[in-house]
Structures are given as C-alpha cells and as structure tokens.
Amino acid sequence: MNCQRFGSKKEMGLAAARDGAEKMRKVQGERGEVNIIVATGASQFEMLAALIQQEGIDWTQVTIFHLDEYVGLSIEHPASFRKYLKERFEDQLPSPVRAFHYINAEDDPIAECDRVGALIAETPIDVAFVGIGENGHLAFNDPPADFEIENPYLVVNLDEDCRQQQFGEGWFASLEAVPEKAISMSVRQIMKSGSIICTVPDERKAEAVRNSVEGEVLPSVPASILQRHGDCGLYIDEPAASLLDKGGVS
C-alpha cells in the first residue's frame, strides 16, 4: 500500500483523481475500454469532482459499477447512493458512459446481487475508487468482514458504528431512519481490481486509517486487507493521517 498525505481535502482528492485517471488512460490506450468502480459518501466528494475534470478519458468507453446501496431505499431518498452517483458524477461527465451498473436494492436484494454479480463477473475491473469507514469497513463490509466469500455482491447487516456514521454525516434525519441492511460488493471482488485508489479524509477516520495501514490484516479491520493488494494507493489528508507513524507516510 502506497500511502500519501496531503494538506487539504482538495489536494488529496485531486491527487487521487489524477493517479486514477492516469491508470484509466493507460488501460484505454492498451485495450480501448476501461472498467471502474466508484464509491460514495462524504469522503469521495473532492475525488469525484476532480475525476470528472480529468482530460484524455473516453467516457463513452467506460463501464462503471458501484460498491453498495441500502436495502429498501428509493432512488429519490437523499441518502440513495444511486442518486448520489447520478447527480454528483454521471450527470457531470463530459459525455455519456458506455454503461453504469447501478445497484437497485429496493425490492428483491438477493435477485439484485445475482444480477449485478453476473455482470461484474464478466467485466474485469481495472481501477476501483474506494474509501474506508470510521469502523474500518470496506464498502459495507463491516467488521468482522468475510474475506473468503466468492459472491461478487451480498446482502449485509450494518453495524451500529456504520449506521451512526451515516447519521452523523447528515444523510438521515435520525439514527432510526438509517437502514439496517445493504447490498455490498464483497471484499474478494474489490481485491480483484487491477488498481485501487483509496481516498480517506477527516480526523474521524484517523483510527481506522492507522489500524488499516499499520495493524495486522484482520476481519475486525476490513480495510486492512488492502495491505495485500499489489497496486493500492491510499490518499489521506493531515487529520486522517494524525495517528500514523510519521515515518511511514510520504
């Protein structure tokens, strides 16, 4: 894992987007198309805004998957990840994408896992843009995460810390309103990505960052598995890096 720290969220997001875009352009130059994963949440605001502005990407030859979605939540709900990605990302791109495979967990989440799972099984992912939760989760794989399950997508239970984070970020009016289940991309599926760009700002993520970077690889710290990926970049601002050994981060 290549860790880089930055003085501001804007600098962090721009660096992550530039490096991710460079990887995308390289794949497109070699193969003509590129397949990516994009994450949501407050941690991705700056990165996604910068990624949209990157030049030299043929978005008409980009296929996109996203990581997770709440079970039972309408796309009209302010916390819907489909709504987030459509309004903040897809609608802002300079041209239409080849395909955007949104997760619809409103009616039959098991069937939806099968549907998007079959699609991603046929679509090797080149670059995954992800984040880390306050509890160390990767996508909605809360601790203890299942590192072995082969299913590309699965229905998961959201733990109290995860639900508290969603409420604390202002996506829901109350903790009780935060759904208890979600569809999440599995850890194994994320780890199959050719490259991973992980963007993590804010002091509230500092303990999760330290445990993910400097601790053992454990299901109790799901994002620690990123240590085992051959091409993973971690982009953090100063508050998120505040608990790290200063000698270990550039």
User: pLDDT tens, 103-145?
Assistant: 999 999 999 999 999 999 999 999 999 999 999 999 999 999 9
Backbone angles phi, psi at 225, to 5 degrees: -60, -20
Calpha distance 179→158 (Å, rounded): 8
Buried b / exposed e over 179-199, threshold 16 CB at 10 Å, is: beebbbbbbbbbbebbbbbbb
Report yes or no: 60 and 97 within 8 Å, Cβ to Cβ.
Answer: yes
Q: Determine what percent of the chain is predicted with pLDDT higher than 70.
A: 98
- Quick one: three-class SS letters along 146-210? CCCCCCCEEEEECCHHHHHHHHHCCCCCCHHHCCCEEEEECHHHHHCCCEEEEEECCHHHHHHHH
Positive or negative: CA dihedral 193, 201, 48, 27: negative
- Span 68-111, pLDDT tens digits: 999 999 999 999 999 999 999 999 999 999 999 999 999 999 99
Q: Which DSSP string do the residues of 138-150 spell out, in sequence order?
A: BTTBPSSP-SS--
Report yes or no: 220 and 144 within 8 Å, Cβ to Cβ.
Answer: yes
Please name the helix (run of DSSP H) or strand (run of DSSP E) that holds residue 23, with its range, or none: helix 9-31
Which residues touch 82 (CB under 8 Å, ≥6 apart)? 66, 69, 75, 102, 103, 104
CATH code (residue 46):
3.40.50.1360
- Span 163-173, pLDDT tens digits: 999 999 888 99
Query: Is it the case that residue 250 has pLDDT exceeding 60?
Result: no
| Cis before 109 (ω within 30) | no
Predicted local distance difference test score (pLDDT) of residue 245: 85
Which residues touch 56 (CB under 8 Å, ≥6 apart)? 21, 25
Calpha distance 114→130 (Å, rounded): 22
- Span 175-195, pLDDT tens digits: 999 999 999 999 999 999 999
Predicted local distance difference test score (pLDDT) of residue 248: 47
- Tokens 């990887």 appear where? 23
Calpha distance 153→111 (Å, rounded): 10
Query: Is it the case that residue 247 has pLDDT exceeding 60?
Result: no
Which residues touch 30 (CB under 8 Å, ≥6 apart)? none
Domain that holds residue 16: 2-248
Number of domains making up the chain:
1
Q: Determine what percent of the chain is predicted with pLDDT higher than 90.
A: 94
Please name the helix (run of DSSP H) or strand (run of DSSP E) that holds residue 211, with its range, or none: helix 206-214
In degrees, rounded to 5, the angle at the alpha carbon of residue 147 between the alpha carbons of residues 144 and 153 is: 100
